[in-house]
Amino acid sequence: MCEGKKIILGITGGIAAYKSAELTREFVKKGAQVTVIMTKNATKFITPLTLQTLSGNPVYTDTFSLTGEWEIGHISMAEAADIIVIAPATANIIGKIASGIADDLLSTTVMATRAPVLICPAMNTNMYANIIVRANCEKLASIGYYIMDADYGELACKTEGAGRLPPLDDIAEEVASILTEKDLAGENVLITAGPTREPFDPIRFISNYSSGKMGYAFAVMAKRRGADVTLITGPTVLPVPSGVKVHEVTTAVSMRDEVMKHFKESTIIIKVAAVADYRPAVLSDSKIKKDDGPFNITLERNPDIIAEIGKIKGDRILVGFAMETEDLLKNAYDKLLAKNMDLIVANDLSRPGSGFQYDTNSVRVIDRSGTVRKLPLMTKTKIADRVLDRIKKLRKDSKETGVV
C-alpha cells in the first residue's frame, strides 16, 4: 500500500519525537519515499541527521533557512505528497492548523497541500484533555483531517492517562488504510480465522497448527478497503487488527454459534479457520490421570460450518479454504461444489513456504466454473488482497447479471 508513495513526515517538539525515527524506518521498509520536516523544537529532541540517515533524504527544518529555490520547493513537495503524517503532533501544531496559522515550514506545508493529513497527537494528559485541544481536534476531524486517538498509559511526565503517541503499528496501518481505495465500502465481511480447540479435560485439548495469519490478513485488507469487518477467531497470539470487530471463540461449536449470530448482516463470508472436524465425545470435569494401559479418546463429528452456510447463503459471496496434501485441485473443487462456495482458495501444504505458521503462501483460487488462478509465493497480506480482488469481481458480475 505504501510502495512508491510519497510520505511527508512532520515531527514536532515532544518527547515522543524519538519514536518518529522508528516510524521513518517502518515507512521506508514498506517502500515509501519519506521526506521529513521538523519543527525547531523537534530538533531539540532528535537530530535531523538521524532522520536524514533513516529516510535517505534531506531533512527540512525551517522555512527561513531555505533558499528561494527551496521556498518554492516545499510548495511543490506539498503538492506531490500522497500523505502528510504528523507524529508526534503537539497541542501547538494542532492549534495552529485548526486556526489556519502557517508560520513555519511544517504548518505552511500542511496549509499548501491537498493530500490527506494524518495527525498523531502526543502530549501531557491534561493538555490532551484540555477543552481547547479537544475542540481543535474535533474541528479538524470535521473538515476532513485524520486524527488518531492518543494512547493511554504512563507519560514522560510520570502521570498516567491519555496522551501517549499511538502505537507505531497503528499509525502505519492508518496510513495504509488512508492510501487504499475504499472499493469494498458497503460490504459486511465476516471472517473466521485460527484453529479451534476441542478439550477432553480441563487442561488438554485437540487442535492443529493454524496460526491465524491468513485470516487476520483478510481482516486487515478488507478493513483497509473500506469493508465493515467482523473477525471470529480461534486462539492465536496475533494482535487484534485495528478497526475490526473481533469475537474470540475456542471450539468448533462456539465458532458455529458466533458465525450464525453474525450471518444475517454479512454480505461476504470468508472461512479461513482450520476447524477441527471432530471433538472428544466426553469432556471430563477433572484432569484425567494416567495409568499403564493405552489411552483412547472417542471422537464425534463437529458441525461443518461452511456446509451449513452454503445451504442458506442466498446472494452472499462464500469463500472457503482447502488444505490439502494431495490431489489439490480436484479435492478443492469438489469441496467448492459440495458446500456451495463461490470461491475456494486451495493451499498446497507440500510446497515450501506455504501453509500454517508462515508469513507467505502460494495458493490457487478456483471459482464455480472450475477456472483456476495460480498465485505465486507471496505474503499472506498480498494473497488476501488478490483474493479480495476476485471477490469484488464476482460482486460486480453478479450486479450485472443478477446471479451469484
Catalytic residues: 157
What per-residue string of b and e applies to 297-313 under the rule 16 or more CB within 10 Å gives b? eeeeebbebbeebbeeb
Q: Is 305 in the site for ligand CTP (CB under 6 A)?
A: yes
Give residues 224-283 in contact with ligand CTP (rule: CB under 6 A): 252, 271, 273, 275, 277
Kindly indicate which of the ranges 31-39, 54-62, 167-175, 316-324 contains the residues binding ligand CTP, using the contact rule CB under 6 A.
316-324
Q: How far is the CB of 232 from ligand CTP (least distance, A)?
A: 11
Residues in contact with ligand CTP, counted by CB under 6 A, come to a total of: 14
Q: How far is the CB of 214 from ligand CTP (least distance, A)?
A: 11
- The position carrying cell 498523531 is 120
Give residues 327-366 in contact with ligand CTP (rule: CB under 6 A): 335
145 vs 216, which CB is nearer to ligand CTP?
Answer: 216
How far is C-alpha 15 from the chain's CA centre?
Answer: 27
164 vs 279, which CB is nearer to ligand CTP?
Answer: 279
Alpha-carbon gap, residue 102 to 182, rounded angstroms = 32
The H or E element that residue 385 is part of is helix 380-401
248 vs 304, which CB is nearer to ligand CTP?
Answer: 304
Alpha-carbon gap, residue 346 to 368, rounded angstroms = 13
74 vs 339, which CB is nearer to ligand CTP?
Answer: 339
163 vs 320, which CB is nearer to ligand CTP?
Answer: 320
- Contact 86/17 with Cβ under 8 angstroms? no
CB 181: neighbour CB atoms within 10 A? Answer: 9
Alpha-carbon gap, residue 223 to 218, rounded angstroms = 8
Q: Is 323 in the site for ligand CTP (CB under 6 A)?
A: yes
Alpha-carbon gap, residue 153 to 379, rounded angstroms = 33
Q: Is 321 in the site for ligand CTP (CB under 6 A)?
A: yes
Which of 151, 170, 304, 367 contacts ligand CTP by CB under 6 A? 304
The residues, any chain, with a CB within 8 Å of residue 72's CB and separated by 6 or more, are none
Q: Is 320 in the site for ligand CTP (CB under 6 A)?
A: yes
Q: By the criterion CB under 6 A, which residues form the site for ligand CTP?
A: 252, 271, 273, 275, 277, 302, 304-306, 320-323, 335
